Amino acid sequence: MKEKVVIITGGTGALGRFVTDKFALEGWKVYVPVTSLRKFADLFDSSKDKSSDFALRKIYAFECDATNENSVKEFVEKVSALEKGRIDMLINTVGGFHKYIDITKFETAEFDTWFNLNFKSTFYFSREVLKVMKENKYGRIVSIASLAARNPMPGRLSYSVSKSAVLDLMETINIENNDLDIRCNAIIPTTINTPANREWGS
């Protein structure tokens, strides 16, 4: 897997950091879209690590708004240019879980905010990276969905709908590219043990 190229969205989040570290330690070149380069540096700067098991990691970041399609397009084009038209894998971990909102009180703007974060970010990145993968006739895309996509939760409509759309997106890409070595998968976890989720629930 040395020198293979992966883009990991949500790479500064609790799950994303774990995934980013894992791929970097396996020898992949990792590109992370971030809203703040300062936050990225604080999380991933290992220059002061003096331990004997220190390993050089190739993790790079550019600022990008994952919910803005032009920003995503620019990010993917930049990575593709740097890697001479090669992106081997995309992992979509970006997302968020909204508070309980009764449907009668769910304002359209707030619904759109969570739908954009949980689905459109995955759609934008998958679409743009897929263009590169189709040129190379190879690629892997993995997206984080949720059990709520199959079993809707009361008060979480936008979250459930957006994660269900992620499943449909992954399957559609598979069907449309079954003649190429391009594969998509969705991981469907229940609640992941993160600080934010521990604060939210049990």
* Ordered per-residue pLDDT tens for the chain, 202 residues: 458 999 999 988 888 899 999 999 999 999 999 998 887 787 777 666 666 555 667 999 999 999 999 999 999 999 999 999 999 999 999 988 777 888 899 999 999 999 999 999 999 999 999 999 999 999 999 999 888 778 777 778 888 999 999 999 999 999 999 999 999 999 987 666 666 655 655 5
CA angle 105, 107, 113 (to 5 degrees): 130
Residue 171 is given by DSSP the state H
pTM: 0.87
DSSP string, 18-78: HHHHHHHHTT-EEEEEES-HHHHHHHH--TT---TT----EEEEEE--TT-HHHHHHHHHH
The tokens for 138 are 């190879």
CB atoms within 10 A of CB 16: 21
Query: Measuring CA to CA, which residue among 114, 140, 12, 5 is closest to residue 64?
Result: 12
